[in-house]
Amino acid sequence: MKPSDITYQDKLDELILDVRHPNTQRQKTVFILVEGKTDVRLFRKLLDTDKFKIEYIPGGKVKLEEALNHLLRLYVLMAAIRDADFLHLTDEDYEVENIFLTDEHDMEMMLLAQKEVLNALFFEYTDVVEREHISKRDELLEMVQSISCLKWLNDLEILKLKFEKVDFQHLIDFDNQRVDVSSYIQNLLSRSPNAKIKELTVLQSKVNDLIAQKPDLLQVTNGHDAIKVLTSYFKKRQDQKGLNYKTIESAIRIAFTVETFQKTKLYQQLRNWLATHQIEV
């Protein structure tokens, strides 16, 4: 069976067998469940694989929580890491047993928040000087802020907009530092037959209201969108036509080291939880 064919139930059944195995109990193996396949690659680099098993749960956040709740009834050394999404932008507390949130919007944004990661990217793909790396990142994130806030609006009001197959890279104008958001929304609406709001001007007005709140760019921007705009920028800057999304996604994982991870809130939360079980990260 190919990894892509493994269902949620397949994975859950596999983990139930794992946690019941005598070696798991004897060695006090710690299981960390994640919601993305690339998260497995990242955390296998960051955590000691002799102590930790990093496992991808198919099905998104709902299934991640469901799997954790089920497995915690069988084994206590079980936790999950999930993307915060927009949770850090609200006053709402997220307190689910043994689930830890990324510091920023998602895993990719948590990596792009780190100066070491930015330096690695910009030194490799541009001639931008080091003191301008953070400001250039933020400038690029501001270019897609309207799209980010539209996704936030969709989350807040459950608008049923379908973003999955709607891209914006062809709408980027780096010379004028803008994205043709009107065209993006029109395309989005054409692919969202069940959208609760279908008027372009209404959506733009609501998005502008969210932008006026000056949300933290690292919390409101989806990591996939950030990597898309970075990739487009690097391709234009260096005329690297062969450069693609996966190359940059891989590059930020490689640049994110154990030492960098140790600076994050996520690391501290994991460390504190493990300390209650007399286990070191």
What's the pLDDT tens digit per position in 72-85?
A: 999 999 999 999 99
Contacts of 51 (CB under 8 A, 6+ apart): 28, 29, 30, 279
DSSP string, 80-138: EEE--TTGGGSS-----TTEEE-SSSSHHHHHHTSHHHHHHHHHHH----GGGHHHHHH
CB 223 within 8 A of CB 107: yes
What's the pLDDT tens digit per position in 173-226?
A: 999 999 999 999 999 999 999 999 999 999 999 999 999 999 999 999 999 999
* All domains in the chain, ordered by first residue: 3-103+264-275 (3.40.50), 109-256 (no CATH)
> How many whole angstroms separate alpha carbon 12 and alpha carbon 217?
36
The model's pTM: 0.93
